[in-house]
């Protein structure tokens, strides 16, 4: 996983026989993608893609999409939002961040019910 200027890059596709590794910036409305022949090139292209995106937004006088705005059906701090997102990506059983949060809430409720007994 890559991180630069508050944006996270996720390796999205690795095709056998293809000379490139592809990635995207998840959790924003705009589409930012990048690629490289190796991790060093992928990282360089990720940073260049973020810089180009921010420059384009500045040129158009538009606000760039902010990842981890702190809103997810309930208000979270941006740091907690990022931590929950990263945890859901690392949990193979979760299909989405929403699934992960639901699972975490269910686990908390289950734990509290056991403790109350």
Tell me if 86 sits within 8 A of 70, measured CB to CB: no
Give the domain range for residue 51: 2-59
- Which parts of 1-117 fold into alpha helices (H)? 39-59, 78-90, 97-116
Question: Structural domain tally of the chain?
Answer: 2
Classify residue 42 by burial, with Cβ atoms within 10 Å: 0-12, 13-18, 19+: buried
Is residue 82 located within the same domain as residue 33?
Answer: no
- Asked if 6 and 46 sit in the same domain, the reply is yes
Record the pTM. 0.60
**Strands across the sheet with 2-4, in order?**
2-4, 7-14, 21-24, 33-36
Of the residues 13, 30, 59, the one at which a domain ends: 59
- pLDDT for 2: 92
Q: What digits encode the pLDDT tens for the residues 3-60?
A: 999 999 998 877 777 788 899 998 888 999 999 999 999 999 999 999 999 999 999 9
Q: Is residue 38 part of a domain?
A: yes
Same domain? 82 vs 54: no
């Amino acid at each position: 996983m890559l991180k630069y200027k508050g944006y996270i890059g996720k390796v999205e596709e690795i095709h056998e026989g293809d000379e490139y590794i592809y990635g995207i910036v998840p959790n924003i409305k705009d589409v930012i993608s990048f690629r490289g022949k190796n991790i060093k090139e992928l990282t360089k292209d990720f940073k260049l893609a973020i810089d180009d995106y921010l420059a384009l937004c500045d040129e158009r006088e538009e606000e760039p999409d902010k990842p981890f705005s702190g809103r997810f059906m309930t208000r979270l701090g941006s740091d907690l939002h990022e931590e929950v997102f990263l945890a859901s990506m690392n949990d193979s059983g979760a299909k989405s961040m929403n699934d992960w949060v639901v699972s975490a809430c269910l686990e908390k409720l289950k734990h509290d019910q056991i403790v109350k007994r």
